[in-house]
């Protein structure tokens, strides 16, 4: 039972997908989640004797310790996903709450992992930390961080704490800066750009696009989860205190390109544009993913076009009956 992984936020969009993949690979999985968006995503795992769920707030100072089963060994790794995700959600809860759950909770979880001699700590951060790229060049892991939102500020602060602990700690921190996610998960989300565009084009037959010419970077959730698993399997000396962008060069797309891919499948969609400047998430960048490819051997398997087809098929077949349900969004107001 040495392959035991603990996931915070394991009922969420990434966590519920990751938990299923780890169980399939033979791992023992402990999930800690406060179930802010419900726990239906975990129902399929509850009968698995290698799955353990604990409802808890990871900000609490002993949440990790209290979640461990006495008949299971200490986890090999903690994958820390629990957070107030995305800049609209952070803006809606305010700075104090966002800081508590995105920065202080990360410190508490890492400190417990370190004191328990857990081997590695995988932290899911965001490429939004880069903000706007200088001179239009692709941003790499060593590029300056220029957060444009409260969400990105909290992610940068959490990263900095972990990196200061890397040399002296028993537990090796590893940071992944993920591109924008898309695709289906046991806990679906339709406040993610591509998933939301597909939903709006199919149901409303129209799209309203802001920040039209801006470039974003996208990765399918299955590829992001495979990146996390590479982080679990890689030698400690390769990952301790390291930062990796997670994505693919093919996922660096303008919003116009994404719209073109959607129109290929839903050509009747009416597209409208608004030239509005928001004081929040103003990313306009392309991202380099050379480091994760060279160091960890990462290779993405899914394209944006395939992700659009996946989401569209699920909606057209009624697999997700009401994609407008609020439980499929982390915040009401989403900038497209």
Predicted pLDDT of residue 330: 84
What DSSP assignment string belongs to 114-169? HHTT-SEEEEEEEGGGG-B-GGGPPB-TTSPP---SHHHHHHHHHHHHHHHHTTT-
| Segments of 163-205 assigned E as strands | 172-178, 180-182
23, 12 Cβ separation under 8 angstroms: no
Give the residue from 140, 171, 325 showing the smallest Cα distance to 243: 140
Q: How far is CA 231 from the centre of its chain?
A: 15
Residue 231's CB is within 10 A of a number of other CB atoms, namely 24
Query: Quick one: DSSP state of residue 6?
Result: E
11, 38 Cβ separation under 8 angstroms: yes
Predicted pLDDT of residue 85: 86
Mark residue 114 as left, alpha or beta (left: phi above 0; alpha: psi -120 to 50; beta: remaining).
Answer: alpha
In the predicted model, residues of the chain with pLDDT beneath 70 are 1-2, 133-135, 211, 276-283, 332-336
Predicted pLDDT of residue 285: 86
Domain 4-181+218-246 indexed as CATH 3.40.50.720: yes
CATH 3.40.50.720 domain range(s) in the chain: 4-181+218-246
Tokens, residue 250: 């093919």
Query: Quick one: DSSP state of residue 268?
Result: T
| 177 half-sphere exposure, CB direction, 13 A CA radius | 27
Predicted pLDDT of residue 336: 33
Predicted pLDDT of residue 237: 95
Predicted pLDDT of residue 207: 94
End-to-end CA distance of the chain: 45
Beta bridge partner(s), residue 254: 215
Predicted pLDDT of residue 233: 97
- Domain 184-217+251-285+302-328 sits in CATH at 3.90.25.10
- DSSP H or E stretch at residue 88: helix 87-93
Rounded alpha-carbon distances, angstroms, from residue 157 to 129, 135, 152, 154, 325: 10, 25, 9, 5, 32
- With b meaning 16 or more CB within 10 Å and e meaning fewer, what string describes 143-172? bebbbbbbbbbbbbbbbebbeebbeebebb
Mark residue 19 as left, alpha or beta (left: phi above 0; alpha: psi -120 to 50; beta: remaining).
Answer: alpha
């Amino acid at each position: 039972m040495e392959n035991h992984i603990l996931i915070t936020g394991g009922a969420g969009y990434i966590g519920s997908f990751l938990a299923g993949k780890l169980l399939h690979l033979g791992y023992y999985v402990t999930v800690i989640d406060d179930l802010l968006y419900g726990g239906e995503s975990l129902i399929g795992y509850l009968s698995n004797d290698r799955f353990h769920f604990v409802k808890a707030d990871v900000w609490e100072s002993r949440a990790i310790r209290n979640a461990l089963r006495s008949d299971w060994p200490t986890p090999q790794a903690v994958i820390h996903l629990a957070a107030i995700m995305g800049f609209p959600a952070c803006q809606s809860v305010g700075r104090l709450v966002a800081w508590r759950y995105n920065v202080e909770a990360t410190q508490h979880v890492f400190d417990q992992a370190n004191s328990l001699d857990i081997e590695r700590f995988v932290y899911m951060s965001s490429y939004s930390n880069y903000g706007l790229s200088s001179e239009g060049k692709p941003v790499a892991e060593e590029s300056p961080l220029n957060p444009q939102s409260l969400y990105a500020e909290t992610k940068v602060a959490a990263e900095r704490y972990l990196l200061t602990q890397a040399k002296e700690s028993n537990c090796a921190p590893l940071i992944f800066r993920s591109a924008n996610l898309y695709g289906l998960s046991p806990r679906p989300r339709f406040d993610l750009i591509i998933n939301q565009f597909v939903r709006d084009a199919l149901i409303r037959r129209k799209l309203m696009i802001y920040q039209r010419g801006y470039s974003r970077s996208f990765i399918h959730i299955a590829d992001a989860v495979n990146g996390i698993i590479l982080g679990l399997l890689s030698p400690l000396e390769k990952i301790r205190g390291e930062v990796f962008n997670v994505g693919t060069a093919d996922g660096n797309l303008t919003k116009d390109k994404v719209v073109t891919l959607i129109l290929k499948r839903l050509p009747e969609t009416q597209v409208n544009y608004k030239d509005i400047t928001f004081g929040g998430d103003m990313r306009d960048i392309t991202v380099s993913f050379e480091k994760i490819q060279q160091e960890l051997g990462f290779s993405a398997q899914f394209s944006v076009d395939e992700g659009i087809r996946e989401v569209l098929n699920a909606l057209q077949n009624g697999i997700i009956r009401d994609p407008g349900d609020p439980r499929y969004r982390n915040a009401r107001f989403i900038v497209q």
